[in-house]
Structure 1
Amino acid sequence: MDNKQRILIVGDVNGRLKSFFARIETVNKKTGPFDLVLCVGNFFGSSTETDDLNDYKSKLKSIPIPIYILGPNDELSAKFYRDLQDGDLCPNLTYLGKRGIYCTSSGLKIAYVSGVEADSTGGTVPEWKFTNDDVTVVRDFSVASKSNMGDYRGVDLLVTSQWPAGIKEGVKNGSKRIAWLADAIKPRYHLCALNGEYFEPPPYRNKPDKNTQMELATRFIALADFGNTEKKKHIYALNVMPVEKMRVIELIQKTIDETVSPYVDMNISESGKDLKGDRNSQYFYDMNTYDDSARKRKGQGNRVSGNHEQKRARPSFDQEKCWFCLSSGTIEKHLIISVGEHFYLALAKGPINETHILILSITHIQNASLLSAAQWDELNRFKESLTNFFKDREETIFLYERNYKTGHLQINAIGVDNNVAWKIKHVLEDKSEEHNITLESAAKPSSPADLPQKCPYFVVDLPDDTIMYTKQMKNFPLHFGREIICADNLLNCEEKIDWRQCNLDKAGEEVIVKSFRESFKPYDFTL
Structure 2
Amino acid sequence: MPEPLLVAAVGDIHGRFHRVETWLDALEQARGRRVDLVLAVGDVEAFRRPNDHRRKAAKRTMPAEFAEYADGLRRVKRPFFFIGGNNEDFEALHDLQAGGELAPDVTYLGRAGERELRGLKVAYLSGIHAPRFIEQPLKRPTTVDTVKQAGYFRTAEVERLTGLRDVDLMLVHEWPRGIVQRAREENPSPPRPLPSYWIGNPVTRRLVDAVQPKWLLCGHSHMAFAVTLEGPGRPATRIACLDQAARPQESVFWLEFEGREAVRTGWGTSGAVAWEAGQRWDMSSLPAHRPTDGDGEGAPVGY
Indicate the TM-score class for this superposition, using the shorter chain for normalisation.
0.5 to 0.7
Q: Within the alignment, does 1:135 sit opposite 2:147 as a pair?
A: no
Match in the other structure for 1:25: 25
Q: Secondary structure at the match of 2:18?
A: helix
Match in the other structure for 2:42: 41
Match in the other structure for 1:471: none
1 CA distance for matches of 2:107 and 2:7? 15
Residues 99 and 110, structure 2, Cα contact 8 Å, conserved in 1: no
Residues 198 and 232, structure 1, Cα contact 8 Å, conserved in 2: no
Identify the match of residue 164 of structure 1 among 157, 176, 190: 176
2 CA distance for matches of 1:62 and 1:30? 22
Structure 1 residues 3 and 195, CA, compared in 2 at 3 Å: closer, same or farther? same
Point out which structure has higher relative CO (alpha carbons under 8 A, 6+ apart).
Answer: 2
Aligned pairs (5 A) from 1:337-416: none
Residues 132 and 177, structure 1, Cα contact 8 Å, conserved in 2: no
Match in the other structure for 2:270: none
Structure 1 residues 204 and 123, CA, compared in 2 at 3 Å: closer, same or farther? closer
Match in the other structure for 1:223: 242
Q: Within the alignment, does 1:175 sit opposite 2:175 as a pair?
A: no
Match in the other structure for 1:7: 7
Match in the other structure for 2:117: 104
Match in the other structure for 2:229: 204
Kindly name which structure, 1 or 2, has the bigger radius of gyration based on alpha carbons.
1
Q: TM-score, normalised by structure 1?
A: 0.39
Residues 56 and 90, structure 1, Cα contact 8 Å, conserved in 2: yes
Q: Within the alignment, does 1:185 sit opposite 2:208 as a pair?
A: no
Q: Secondary structure at the match of 1:233?
A: helix
Q: What amino acid is the match of 1:217?
A: A
Residue-by-residue CA offset, 1:90-146 (whole Å, 9 max, x unaligned): 1111101000111024x2101100000131564344322112221221122x23xxx
Structure 1 residues 240 and 82, CA, compared in 2 at 3 Å: closer, same or farther? same
Residue-by-residue CA offset, 1:341-394 (whole Å, 9 max, x unaligned): xxxxxxxxxxxxxxxxxxxxxxxxxxxxxxxxxxxxxxxxxxxxxxxxxxxxxx
Structure 1 residues 173 and 14, CA, compared in 2 at 3 Å: closer, same or farther? same
Residue-by-residue CA offset, 1:194-224 (whole Å, 9 max, x unaligned): 11111113x332443xxxxxx4211111011
Q: 1:244 offset after TM fit, Å?
A: 8.4
2 CA distance for matches of 1:133 and 1:83? 17
Q: Secondary structure at the match of 2:7?
A: strand
Residues 85 and 173, structure 2, Cα contact 8 Å, conserved in 1: no
Q: 1:255 offset after TM fit, Å?
A: 5.2
Q: What amino acid is the match of 2:86?
A: N
Percent of aligned positions that are identical: 26
Residue-by-residue CA offset, 1:494-520 (whole Å, 9 max, x unaligned): xxxxxxxxxxxxxxxxxxxxxxxxxxx
Q: What amino acid is the match of 2:230?
A: R
Q: 1:177 offset after TM fit, Å?
A: 1.2
Residues 8 and 238, structure 1, Cα contact 8 Å, conserved in 2: yes
Q: Secondary structure at the match of 1:116?
A: coil
Structure 1 residues 258 and 194, CA, compared in 2 at 3 Å: closer, same or farther? closer
Residues 197 and 232, structure 1, Cα contact 8 Å, conserved in 2: no
Structure 1 residues 20 and 120, CA, compared in 2 at 3 Å: closer, same or farther? same
Q: 1:86 offset after TM fit, Å?
A: 6.5
Structure 1 gap ranges (5+) = 144-153, 209-214, 247-253, 260-527
Q: What amino acid is the match of 1:33?
A: R
Identify the match of residue 238 of structure 1 among 239, 255, 259: 255
Residues 63 and 91, structure 1, Cα contact 8 Å, conserved in 2: yes
Structure 1 residues 49 and 13, CA, compared in 2 at 3 Å: closer, same or farther? closer
Q: TM-score, normalised by structure 2?
A: 0.66
Residues 16 and 48, structure 1, Cα contact 8 Å, conserved in 2: no
Match in the other structure for 2:75: 62
Structure 1 residues 2 and 171, CA, compared in 2 at 3 Å: closer, same or farther? farther
1 CA distance for matches of 2:94 and 2:63? 12
Aligned pairs (5 A) from 1:410-429: none
